[in-house]
Amino acid sequence: MLRNKRKRLKRLQNALLNLSMAWNLFMITSSSLLEELTKVNRRWWVRPVHFDQEKCGHYQNLFNYLLNEDNELFYQDYRMSVEQYKTILAMVQPHLQKFSKRTPHPPGLRLALTLSFLAHGDNVNTTARGFRIGKSTAYKIIFETCNVIWNVLQPIYLPKPTADSWRRIAEDFYEIWNFPNCIGAVDGKHIQIQCPPKTGSLYYNYKQFFSIVLMAAADAEYKFTWVDIGDYGSMSDGGIWAESAFGSALEEGSVDLPLPRLLPNSNIMFPHFFVGDEAFPLKMYMMRPYPKKDLCDRRRYWRTLLPQ
């Protein structure tokens, strides 16, 4: 009896082993077949038109001519002066330098291509053809270069504000605009885009086009002090503000805002605040206009948190 059980157990183990081997063989065969089916036979690694990059490429010819000979047209084409371009290139060059067996595209070309695309909003395929490089390569260059530009320049030109920097902004608002205790003006801007695939109406805004939203705060001289980019165009400014990291931090009281101070020519202590339109909520840190209905002359300008 015991011998029969051992024989059955042995046959079961052999069957499982054979099944496992058959499964592994099937997986190996199917993966090899899938590779053969999905394999793309390249006609060429470099398209023939790109062989003339040194002779006909935009960067090697027109760009360098404008850079060295015609600063006015350079500014029109790239939305910055030659000095600004050279400054940015010196800052991002170490991060754009590539090393490979094939000759990599130089950092100057990568930056020039990205700036050309950003300045004109042109089709990537058209921009790539002008620079005599492949479309997929152009996509990769633009994506990488934008990330490098943000990582290098953001800590310098858009640093995290402190109580002292907020206080200086408030002083500028009072000096330039006669508006005390204000530390920034907040609003959203719809950036028009093509509808991304399978997104329905997520990006469709009330202005009847597809967009992503740039939410930003600016100081008294129109300079950005905070930005939030990429929310759906269908969202309201108030909703984007409430869900942003900065708006949530203000609501929680974790932002290093200056202490309240006296309003000019009065004994009223008043907090520092941002100012926005009717889409934003009325908060201790946010002022907005009165609703448009039932406005009297006194309420026509700004809604405040002072007792009425």
Query: Which residue carries 């009297």 as its tokens?
Result: 296
Residue in 159, 160, 155, 218 with CA at minimum distance from that of residue 188? 218
Residue 42 resides in a domain: no
In a shared domain, residues 194 and 145: no
* 32 against 108, higher pLDDT: 108
User: What's the farthest any 2 CA atoms get from each other in the chain?
Assistant: 107
CA-CA distance, 202 to 302, in Å (whole number)? 33
Asked whether residue 178 falls in the same domain as residue 150, the answer is no
Asked if residue 145 and residue 56 are part of one domain, the reply reads yes
Of 5-19, 103-117, 133-147, where does mean pLDDT reach its minimum? Answer: 5-19
How many angstroms separate the CA atoms of 287 and 279, rounded? 11
Establish if 107 belongs to a structural domain. yes
Which of 157, 181, 199 is the last residue in one of the domains?
157
What would the pLDDT profile of 136-195 be if each residue is shown by its tens digit?
A: 888 898 999 999 999 999 998 888 888 899 999 999 999 999 899 999 999 999 988 888
Examine the fold and report which residue of 125, 157, 189 is the final residue of a domain before the chain moves on.
157
For residues 169 and 155, give the distance between their C-alpha atoms in angstroms, rounded to a whole number. 18
pLDDT at 102 > cutoff 60: yes
Quick one: pLDDT at residue 100?
Answer: 74
Q: Look at residues 105, 134, 157 and tell me which one is the last residue of a structural domain.
A: 157
* pTM confidence score: 0.69
Q: Where are the beta strands (DSSP E) in 151-285?
A: 182-192, 211-218, 224-232, 261-262, 269-270, 273-275
User: Are 116 and 221 within one domain?
Assistant: no
Q: Which domain holds residue 180?
A: 163-287
Q: How far apart are CA 245 and CA 55, in angstroms?
A: 49
Q: Could you tell me which residue, 48 or 168, shows the higher pLDDT?
A: 168
Same domain, 167 and 194: yes
55's CB contacts (< 8 A; 6+ apart) are 61
